[in-house]
Amino acid sequence: MTSAVEKPRILLVDDEPNLLDGLRRQLRRDFTVETAVGAANGLFALKPEQPFEVIVSDFLMPGINGAEFLAAAAKAAPASTRVLLTGHTSLADAAAAVNQGQVYRMLLKPVDTENMIAALHECVAQHRLVIAEKELLESTLRGSVKALTDVLSLASPAAFGRATRMRRVAVTILDQMEVEDRWAVEMAVEMSQLGVVSLPPAVADKLNTGAELDRAEQSMVDQLPAVAEKLISPIPRMTSVVDAIRTCRKGFDGSGLPRDGVVGARIPFGGRLLRLLLDHDALLTQGQSPADALAELQSNAKYYDPAMLAALTGTAAPASTATREVTLAELRPGMVLAAAVVTRSADTVLVDADQEITVGLIARLENLAALEHGVREPLTVRDAAAVSPGSASAPAATG
């Protein structure tokens, strides 16, 4: 017999309480069964913190039928496997169940206990397969992202630092909003600076220090999203990430690139967020205080999603001053540089302040330390959790 801890959670929805009680008694040896009388109670029972592996609904119910209920359940609990229990076998009913409710199985009444238990175990297996594939996909994609961002940290530490600062701000905004596929939005932020590797060093330096760009240089910078898009597109399942980066220079009012007539909430969520993050970081890089940067963003509010701008404003806080000094050997991934890393003579900046330490960056610093000019120690760092989302040090020029 399946133990109480291992029992899959099943939700049964029907408008007949007596039928639900009977099904619960039949299934309780194999499953943890919860019941709901009617579609409204069924939707109320769907809570993200207590997911069901399988949702079973009767077809004929007052108000909305089973196919319509399962269609709503698919939005509220997309990972749950959906089953329709019905005594009506018309082609139209079957089509409605499949097309609207996205059902995995249809069970025809009357169904005996043995067959129903077997069918539900198949549905549980399907649910676990979907979850495993989703976790594998996200793990694989995050591995690809990490590889690319590690390369960015070596090829352009300043661009990597900008992406790191933006990611910290993004997390504070996303924590206050309901976001579908948050992982994809966070990936878009992390990968948004990949195009910088295509810039000539002089133009990259100007971008890193907030210096004014001439027309030709600005044209190069305007092409950065397209370059990043080309680098990311070959990775499977990255459509939403690509869409976010492609639209990162569009204003909420429809201005900017691409000029496609799309405005407001129709712009991809990630693109709207990246526009705010890019402009916010650029102002800080130019030397503005966090308060002045927020004030300027608010004065140009038409370019930004109002909810995102409000979330950024609400999380602004003074920068943490809790720092400590460590040797190069004591550097660990996740630390953040509170001051620039320089050569022993302090005449050349090797890595800008406010960059998060990664395995790749540690390796780069160890290689630099072995050269004639070396690396000045100790290094000043803070823990990532101590960094204020609304602040960033203005980076110095990379030598």
Q: Domain check: are 180 and 55 in the same one? A: no
- The whole-angstrom separation of Cα 218 and Cα 189 is 21
Q: Domain check: are 172 and 304 in the same one? A: yes
The pLDDT value recorded for residue 91 is 58
Across the range 384-399, mean pLDDT stands at 42
pLDDT confidence bin for 93, thresholds 50/70/90: low
Of 26-40, 62-76, 287-301, the poorest mean pLDDT is in: 62-76
Q: Domain check: are 124 and 179 in the same one? A: no
Q: Domain check: are 187 and 117 in the same one? A: no
For the stretch 256-315, pLDDT in tens is: 988 888 999 999 999 999 999 999 998 988 888 888 999 999 999 999 999 999 999 877
Whether 339 shows a pLDDT value over 90: the answer reads: no
Q: Domain check: are 19 and 40 in the same one? A: yes
Whether 151 maps to a domain, the answer reads: no
- The whole-angstrom separation of Cα 83 and Cα 67 is 10
Q: Domain check: are 54 and 25 in the same one? A: yes
Q: What does DSSP assign to residue 8?
A: P
In contact, 334 and 362? CB cutoff 8 Å = no
Q: Domain check: are 308 and 337 in the same one? A: no
In contact, 216 and 199? CB cutoff 8 Å = no
Q: Taking the model in full, what pTM does it have? A: 0.59
* Residues shown for the chain: 399
CATH of the domain at 163: 1.10.3210.10
Q: Domain check: are 52 and 23 in the same one? A: yes
User: Which residue shows structure tokens 């050569």?
Assistant: 343
Angle, helices 224-232/215-222, rounded to nearest 10 degrees:
30
Whether 318 shows a pLDDT value over 60: the answer reads: no
In contact, 106 and 100? CB cutoff 8 Å = no
Pair of tokens at residue 133: 């594939």
If one counts the domains in the chain, the total is: 3
CATH of the domain at 32: 3.40.50.2300
Q: What type of residue sits at position 79?
A: A
Whether 393 shows a pLDDT value over 50: the answer reads: no
The pLDDT value recorded for residue 35 is 92
Q: Domain check: are 310 and 393 in the same one? A: no
Looking at per-residue pLDDT, the higher value among 56 and 349 belongs to: 56
- The whole-angstrom separation of Cα 374 and Cα 318 is 34
Among residues 132, 165, 182, the one where a domain terminates is 132
H, E, C per residue of 196-234: HHHCCHHHHHHHHHCCCCCHHHHHHHHCHHHHHHHHHCC
Q: What does DSSP assign to residue 38?
A: S
Whether 168 shows a pLDDT value over 50: the answer reads: yes
- The whole-angstrom separation of Cα 17 and Cα 26 is 14
The H or E element spanning position 17 is helix 17-27
Q: Domain check: are 178 and 64 in the same one? A: no
Looking at per-residue pLDDT, the higher value among 141 and 355 belongs to: 355
Q: What type of residue sits at position 18?
A: N
Whether 353 maps to a domain, the answer reads: yes
- The whole-angstrom separation of Cα 298 and Cα 306 is 9
Across the range 180-201, mean pLDDT stands at 87
Q: How much of the chain exceeds pLDDT 90, in percent?
A: 25
Across the range 109-132, mean pLDDT stands at 86
pLDDT confidence bin for 250, thresholds 50/70/90: very high
Of 2-6, 87-91, 178-182, 228-232, the poorest mean pLDDT is in: 2-6
Whether 140 maps to a domain, the answer reads: no
Among residues 290, 316, 342, the one where a domain terminates is 316
pLDDT confidence bin for 316, thresholds 50/70/90: low
Of 43-47, 230-234, 354-358, 394-398, the poorest mean pLDDT is in: 394-398
Among residues 316, 350, 370, the one where a domain terminates is 316
Which residue range forms the structural domain that includes residue 382? 321-399
Q: Domain check: are 366 and 351 in the same one? A: yes
Closest Cα partner for 66 from 88, 34, 33? Answer: 88
Whether 148 maps to a domain, the answer reads: no
Across the range 88-107, mean pLDDT stands at 66
What is 108-158 written as a DSSP string?
ESS--HHHHHHHHHHHHHHHHHHHHHHHHHHHHHHHHHHHHHHHHHHH-HH
In contact, 396 and 352? CB cutoff 8 Å = yes
Whether 137 maps to a domain, the answer reads: no
Residue 83 CB-density burial (10 A; 0-12 exposed, 13-18 middle, 19+ buried): buried
Pair of tokens at residue 242: 């690509």
Q: Domain check: are 197 and 341 in the same one? A: no
The pLDDT value recorded for residue 335 is 87
